[in-house]
Amino acid sequence: MLLDVDGLTKTFATAEGPVAVLRGVSFALDAGQSLALTGESGSGKSTLLHCVAGLEPFDGGAVRIGGADLAGMGEAARAALRRRTVGLVFQQFNLIPSLTAGANLAFQARLAGRHDPAFCAHLAARLGLSGLLDRYPEQLSGGQQQRVAIGRALAARPALLLADEPTGNLDETTGDAVMDLLLDGVAEAGAALLMVTHSMRLAARLGGRLHLAQGRIA
């Protein structure tokens, strides 16, 4: 089992008192498989993804990636895990503004110590970025930026790719094209995918579907 989430709980302290967002979430994801995570806005999908990625600490339960439990890890170990094992694609502003598209594309792979220029060039070609590598993020359209973000995540050959509405900020045509590239890329790389989406249509394209409601998997 690549990812094993067991009884995960997360409560936010707010001005109006504690808000229990995740109340015992459990699911599992095998290597190379894909899951869609759906739920109403505010149901805690992003929070769950952040906890799985080790970006947010959680209160109870376990998140095991390749057998190692995030609950017992310090910040440095979780950062190392992100560097080597987990790829992340968010809704927007994924890229490092001071680096060119090309440098962004290679960034994660180089951090992970798995940089392969040929693979990067192949990804750039597949994602239709070949002519754009010298541009800075703010010189790219939203769809182009998301393609660079996907390429960056895949170039590092992560075992687990976490995506939070990666096409949520794009128009439908662009979004579909980007989604095709994402799913193809994941399949080609053999990575597992956990993707948050609003769209049932997109969810249907993945191997399975989790629905989050009332802080639990329904």
Partner 1 sequence: MMRAGMAAILSHWRRHPVQLAMLLAGLMLATALWTGVQAINAEARASYARAAAVLGQDRLERFVAEGAARFDQAAHVALRRAGWPVSPVLEGRIRAGGLRLTVLGVDPLTAPPQSGLAGLAAQGGFLRFITPPGEVLAHPVTAARLTEAALPGGPAIRAAEGVPEGTLIADIGIAQAMLDAPGQVSRLLIAAEVPAGLPDWREIAPGLVREAPEGAGDLARLTDSFHLNLTAFGLLAFAVGLFIVHAAVGLAFEERRGTFRTLRALGLPGGRLAALLAGELLLFAVVAGGAGVVLGWLIAAALLPDVAATLSGLYGAAVPGSVALRAEWVAAGLAIAVAGTLAAGAQALWRIARLPVLAPARPRAWAMAAAGGLRAQAAAAGALAVAAGALAVRGDGVVAGFALIGCLLLAAALALPVALHLALRAAAARVRGVLAEWFVADTRQQVPGLSLSLMALMLALAANVGVATMVASFRATFTGWLDQRLAAELYVTARSPDEGARLASFLAARAEAVLPIVSAEAVLDDAPGQVFGMADHATFRDAWPLIAAAPDVWDRVAAGTGVLVNEQLWRRAGLRLGDPLPLPGGALPVAGVYSDYGNPAGQAILGLADFDRRFPGLPHQAFAVRTADPAGVAEAVTAAFDLPPDRVLDQAAVKRFSLAVFERTFAVTGALNLLTLGVAAVALLASMVTLGAMRLPQLAPVWAAGLTRGRLAALEMARTLMLAALTAVLALPVGLALAWVLLAVVNVQAFGWRLPLHLFPGDWAVLFAAALAAAALAAALPVRRIARLAPADLLRVFAHER
Tell me the closest approach of the beta carbon of residue 199 to ligand ADP, in angstroms. Answer: 14
- CB atoms closer than 10 angstroms to residue 59: 14
The span of 61-69, 118-126, 164-172, 180-188 binding partner 1 (CB under 8 A) equals: 164-172
Work out whether 46 is an interface residue with Mg ion (CB under 5 A). Answer: yes
Work out whether 174 is an interface residue with partner 1 (CB under 8 A). Answer: no
Work out whether 110 is an interface residue with partner 1 (CB under 8 A). Answer: yes
Which residue reads 């799913």 in tokens?
Answer: 183
Residue at 165: amino acid letter: E
Measured between alpha carbons, how far is 65 from 204 in angstroms, rounded to an integer? Answer: 25
Measured between alpha carbons, how far is 213 from 37 in angstroms, rounded to an integer? Answer: 11
Work out whether 211 is an interface residue with partner 1 (CB under 8 A). Answer: no
Measured between alpha carbons, how far is 27 from 51 in angstroms, rounded to an integer? Answer: 13
The span of 3-11, 78-86, 125-133, 205-213 binding partner 1 (CB under 8 A) equals: 78-86
- Binders of Mg ion among 167-186, rule CB under 5 A? none
Site for partner 1 (CB under 8 A): which residue of 4, 6, 56, 59? Answer: 56
Work out whether 58 is an interface residue with partner 1 (CB under 8 A). Answer: no
Selection from 54, 69, 7, 27 nearest residue 207 by Cα:
27
Give residue 30's Cα distance to chain centre: 16
Element (H, E) at 183: helix 172-189
Find the length of the chain: 218
95 binds, among partner 1, Mg ion, ligand ADP, none (CB under 5 to 8 A by kind): partner 1
Work out whether 34 is an interface residue with Mg ion (CB under 5 A). Answer: no
- Backbone φ and ψ for 37, nearest 5 degrees, come out as -115, 115
Give the x-and-dash track for 41-80 against ligand ADP (CB under 6 A). xxxxxxx---------------------------------
Q: Which residues bind ligand ADP (CB under 6 A)?
A: 12, 14, 19, 21, 39, 41-47
Q: Which residues bind Mg ion (CB under 5 A)?
A: 46
